[in-house]
Homo-oligomer: A and B are copies of this chain.
Amino acid sequence: MPDPARLHELPTPSLLVERSTFDANVAAMAAARPEAQLRPHVKAFKSTALARELVTAGHTNFCAATVREVEGMAQAGMGTDLLLANQSLDLRRLTPLVEAGHRITVAVDSAETIQAAVAGRIPEVLIDVNVGMPRCGVAPEGAGALADAARAAGLEVRGVMGYEGHLMMASAEKKADAVEASMALLLRAAADVGGDVISAGGTGTYAVNTWATEIQAGSYCLLDTDYAELDSPFEIAITVLATVISVNPDGWAVVDAGLKAFGMDHGNPAWPDGDLFFCSDEHTTLLDPDGRLRVGDRVRLQPGHLDPTVARHEVMWVVDGDAVVDRWAIDLRHW
């Protein structure tokens, strides 16, 4: 079956990317953080086809949250400089890729994760530093000793990483100072660790984080309603296309994209043309007090959280108005 050429031919629910908005987002970030100053985070979009667009925009180094994402990027020929920006004890899966010549770096924050890097024959590491979010990362004052331990184990230490994830949605007034304080922790660690990489940041802090040598951002290219609340040059490029399957005269209509088509951890998706009532597994009920919707109408819903929404779908359909112009497989899903 040939790929659909027009929007109305797509089955529903389908994940859509608006080409012009995506291009504008990518261009805005490439202007602010050109080339290796951005290390796009593939966890946001989980697609080697989309990643290739970012290579075209000048970014050849990527980071990832899962072993599967690193594997897929290398297998797709984008193994110039791949960072697993996460801890894993399952790094033997990456050994064949290292041996095939892909440059792979992993984050470590403990003796056990150093040992996992050694066991997986991963030659290079970053010391993951806790910069204020209660998640992974060694305390800044312990980073130097951990780097020594990594070098003693035969690893090359390229520098440090730290994710100020707790500050992504901070208010504009507070963000700059808060990020500076967080990055002071990372710079302290970097001084003890050595190396030339200071990897940090994300879509919510790229504009104010002037201390990182590279920014780990991925959401900026597609966005979501949560990030859209920030003052940024990025706009929502991604929607879920749905079909109205039932209309009730008491003032609601039901579409065939439910919570299984979305990441729901940031709450319901948004319907830009009206109020969304609630989501069920395979339905969303929209409030339609004026009876505008008819069975068969198509609507587009905006996800609250990009990353887990993309991970629910097999493909992104790239559209330009009514034309379906490309098909990006979401090939880096699962683990």
* Contact surface of A with B, Cβ cutoff 8 Å: 11-13, 43, 65-66, 86-90, 109-110, 112-113, 130, 134-137, 139, 165, 243, 245-250, 252, 254, 256, 259-260, 263-265, 277-283, 285, 295-296, 307-308, 311-314, 334-335
Q: Return 12 A-B CB contacts under 8 Å, by A number.
A: A11-B90, A13-B335, A43-B281, A86-B282, A88-B256, A134-B277, A135-B246, A135-B280, A259-B263, A259-B308, A281-B307, A313-B334
**Separation of A277 and B166 alpha carbons in the complex (Å):** 14
Question: Nearest-CB distance from A25 to chain B (Å)?
Answer: 20
Partner pick for A245 among B89, B249, B308, B314, CB 8 A cutoff: B89
Partner pick for A263 among B90, B112, B264, CB 8 A cutoff: B264
Contact at B265–A112, with CB atoms within 8 Å?
A: no
**Separation of A190 and B285 alpha carbons in the complex (Å):** 25
Contact at B259–A136, with CB atoms within 8 Å?
A: no
Contact at B130–A248, with CB atoms within 8 Å?
A: yes
Inside 8 A of A12's CB, which chain B residues have their CB?
Answer: 90, 335
Contact at B136–A245, with CB atoms within 8 Å?
A: yes
Inside 8 A of A314's CB, which chain B residues have their CB?
Answer: 334
Inside 8 A of A312's CB, which chain B residues have their CB?
Answer: 311-312
**Separation of A112 and B246 alpha carbons in the complex (Å):** 9
Contact at A285–B248, with CB atoms within 8 Å?
A: no
Q: A263-B264, A334-B314 are in contact. Are A113 and B248 (CB under 8 A)?
A: no
Contact at B313–A137, with CB atoms within 8 Å?
A: no
**Separation of A264 and B110 alpha carbons in the complex (Å):** 30
Contact at A308–B264, with CB atoms within 8 Å?
A: yes
Inside 8 A of A88's CB, which chain B residues have their CB?
Answer: 245, 256
Contact at B135–A311, with CB atoms within 8 Å?
A: no
Partner pick for A66 among B134, B249, B282, B296, CB 8 A cutoff: B282
Contact at B260–A307, with CB atoms within 8 Å?
A: yes
Inside 8 A of A280's CB, which chain B residues have their CB?
Answer: 135, 165
Question: Nearest-CB distance from A201 to chain B (Å)?
Answer: 16
Contact at B254–A65, with CB atoms within 8 Å?
A: no
Partner pick for A259 among B87, B113, B165, B265, CB 8 A cutoff: B265
**Separation of A283 and B135 alpha carbons in the complex (Å):** 8
**Separation of A259 and B281 alpha carbons in the complex (Å):** 17
Question: Nearest-CB distance from A160 to chain B (Å)?
Answer: 15
Inside 8 A of A245's CB, which chain B residues have their CB?
Answer: 86-89, 113, 136
